[in-house]
Amino acid sequence: MASPFLSKTATNISFSSSLSNPLPWRFSHTSSASFPAKPRRRISIVQAKIREIFMPALSSTMTEGKIVSWVKSEGDVLSKGESVVVVESDKADMDVETFYDGILAAIVVGEGETAPVGAAIGLLADTEEEIAEAKAKAAKSGSSSPPPAAVAPSPPPPASNPAPAIAQPPPPAAAKAVPDGPRKIVATPYAKKLAKQHKVDIGSVVGTGPSGRITPADVESAAGITSTKKSVTVEPATPAAAAPKAATPAAAANLLPGSTIVPFTTMQAAVSKNMVESLSVPTFRVGYPVTTDALDSLYEKVKPKGVTMTAILAKAAAMALAQHPVVNATCKDGKSFTYNSNINIAVAVAINGGLITPVLQDADKLDLYLFSQKWKELVEKARSKQLQPHEYNSGTFTLSNLGMFGVDRFDAILPPGQGAIMAVGASKPTVIADADGFFSVKSKMLVNVTADHRIIYGADLAAFLQTFAKIVENPESLTL
């Protein structure tokens, strides 16, 4: 669980010390009865004032975060380890805890707003007397940034025969997914701790937090406990002069009637940044046809046990990478490259409003059934935005499978920091002629791999694809 970086912003440390003789072993020559002067005790006085709650870096690619919700309100008394705020990073929503006891004196960044990594999002006071000072500091920091200048939009030129504007229906609200199995339990760490302490079945608790998240108050209510946490009344901070609402850019004047500008979500902005960054890498693509009759037979046998085709393909890719480590290598600075010691397969998953790649770590060392179980758990966490950073940013090779949608072939864009990505199309019946001129029908799928040409060459990729094809066409080794 991520924690905020809290620092003492108004800490005064004063030292009072005096050394009459800095070297205690050096004696004075004026008197034989002299003794070395003893250094006086060093006295330090530390006065703790107001601590800032910083926007944490929840992943290596995160540059800013969005406040999903504040779990605590201004004036609440906090204990070390309690969840204070839920932050949306570029890939997941995560609870942020406090390192210290104190009072949440001021919320600097409100719900739905964003802040760069390292910026103060709240202020924590030690005592009630410091709350007013914290509120003043929050108001000052809010008014320090100048409001953006408003740009007056130019009205669109009148059309001689204006077409009637077609009202666009509002985007449909995301329907709540109905779970096929047991309900997914999402609770804050402190709520889980309380449930264990009071012997409350957390699965039976109804969460009142964001997206049904179970909060400590929900657990206390289920246990019949009246919360003893005291809350300090805090006067609302004097709001800074409201920045004038930024007008629509001049380019918006050329929009068609009824068009709507939709800003990127945090995840979409991260995907956009990564895709633009990938354009700086010289890549090439190689396609390879793979016969899948034996693979299809294996899938029919293991499907009742919860094994998916994506898991089988990822496992096959991991086994092939073990024999061709250069395809699992990465180049980040353009001057050297790294042979990764682990084979971590990232698999692209489409979720509401974006794309994420959960990572199956040490994929070559897991048996197929444990592999599939871990994959299922990762997908569930990805769709509930509960992935931890190491579960989505540690991939060394990526697999993207659109075969289940009937797509026969496509090219994938290489993710930054990886050497290759595999794009898998659908398996389809294909007429094949053998060496003797006899025709037969076999199922084939086309696999395309995009690779970083700085470290992987054509011969390397061809050899890797040949090994991958042999594993798929003789899949008995996948179940060992």
Angle at 42 between CA 38 and CA 44, to 5 degrees: 170
SS3 417: coil
Using CA atoms, how far apart are residues 403 and 418, in angstroms rounded to an integer?
23
Using CA atoms, how far apart are residues 395 and 375, in angstroms rounded to an integer?
14
Q: Is 453 a catalytic residue?
A: yes
DSSP 292-311: -HHHHHHHHHHGGGT--HHH
Question: Cβ distance 433 to 439 under 8 Å?
Answer: yes
Is the C-alpha dihedral spanning 198, 203, 208, 214 positive or negative? positive
Using CA atoms, how far apart are residues 424 and 404, in angstroms rounded to an integer?
10
Residue closest to 385 by CA, chosen among 351, 334, 416: 351
Instruction: Encode 427-455: b = buried (16+ Cβ within 10 Å), e = exposed.
Output: beeeeeeeeeeeeeeebbbbbbbbbbeeb
One-letter identity of residue 182:
P
Estimate to the nearest angstrom the gap between the alpha carbon of 316 and the chain centroid: 27
DSSP 237-294: P-PPPPPPPPPPPGGGGGSPTT----PPPHHHHHHHHHHHHHTTS-EEEEEEEEE-HH
Using CA atoms, how far apart are residues 442 and 291, in angstroms rounded to an integer?
7
Residue closest to 402 by CA, chosen among 281, 474, 310: 310
Radius of gyration for the alpha carbons in the chain, expressed in angstroms and rounded: 30
CA end-to-end span of the chain, whole Å?
A: 35
Spot the catalytic one: 29, 198, 324, 453: 453
Compute CA distances 140 → 112, 137, 241, whole Å: 21, 5, 11
Using CA atoms, how far apart are residues 445 and 313, in angstroms rounded to an integer?
12
Estimate to the nearest angstrom the gap between the alpha carbon of 441 and the chain centroid: 45
Instruction: Please name the residues in contact with 266: beta carbons below 8 A apart, sequence gap of 6 or more.
Output: 64, 65, 66, 88, 89, 90, 114
Question: What residues are annotated to the active site?
Answer: 453
